[in-house]
Amino acid sequence: MNATTFEPAMSRKGLIILSGAVWALGGVMLFIRAVLMMDTWTPAGIAIVTAGLAIGAIKSRLVLTKVARRNIDRVKTMSPDKKKICLFAFQPTASYLLIAVMIGSGLTLRSFFPHSIYIAGLYFAVGIALLDSGLVYFRNVGQV
């Protein structure tokens, strides 16, 4: 095998599990960041966190769950003649650019507002959405 044909690949089932783990881990990391950003747990802070969790749950159900299902269907139907598929193929290439922009935006916001309860609320929202949607992958492993 030469360097031009190297393709990190894995089974469809393994890729679905890995995808769910990456999404869930991203959600957990955002939860941890959000908790660390909360200096005090005032009633206003608790309200913002609660709103963030509610908004994140809604976002998960209306947007990210559908994205996860599309990714799962993509993995199921991709390269039917191959037993293993590319490790990075679980989502469209353009999605990686979107992820990079989202991560960069989060880092930028956190650098300007390191202990903002509003940014923490946003992190809770995105974290719960990622965690909840990541579970979709685990629930669908048996269908691959």
Is 48 a domain residue?
Answer: yes
HSE-CB for 76 with a 13 A CA cutoff: 12
Q: What is the predicted pLDDT for the residue at 115?
A: 77
Q: Does residue 1 register a pLDDT over 60?
A: no
Is 61 a domain residue?
Answer: yes
Is 1 a domain residue?
Answer: no
**Domain that includes residue 83, residue range:** 10-143
Is 5 a domain residue?
Answer: no
Is 55 a domain residue?
Answer: yes
Is 4 a domain residue?
Answer: no
User: pLDDT by residue (tens digit) across 28-76?
Assistant: 999 999 998 887 788 988 999 999 999 999 999 999 999 999 999 989 8
How far is 5 from 75, CA to CA, in rounded Å? 21
Mean pLDDT of 101-112: 88
- Mean pLDDT, rounded, of the chain: 89
**20 with 136: CB under 8 angstroms?**
yes
Number of structural domains (the chain) is 1
How far is 104 from 83, CA to CA, in rounded Å? 35
Is 3 a domain residue?
Answer: no
User: pLDDT by residue (tens digit) across 131-144?
Assistant: 999 999 999 998 87
